Amino acid sequence: CTAPHPYRCDEHLPASGSATTPTPVRREGGSSSSLLDLKFPPPPAADPPLLGPAKVLYTFEAQAEGTQISVKEGETLTVVQSGPEWSWVCNAHGVEGYIPTSYIA
């Protein structure tokens, strides 16, 4: 494939570099498997976390004073640290805190 991603398509080729096909799995009773039963490599890793400038997609009101910050839709923030659920951000006034990661892009 030509799309850029961290998964290397050639990692699963034999050392000789020749193409290979997945090995069919034998079902109980000795019959051969279908394509649905073939074993393939795992999917590519998730996208890297968002860092740097980001736009707020939805308004968020802080629920935990001192750790979260309120932001408004359309506001531009700087993402300092990003996780699967929460991101540590800094707004234009230098105020820092957590907001839901899904609220920024």
The pLDDT of residue 19: 47
Residues 72-90 have pLDDT tens digits of 999 999 999 999 999 999 9
The pLDDT of residue 1: 39
Residues 57-69 have pLDDT tens digits of 999 999 988 899 9
Residues 1-53 have pLDDT tens digits of 344 444 344 444 444 444 445 555 555 555 555 555 556 666 666 555 678 99
Distance CA 105, CA 68 (A): 18
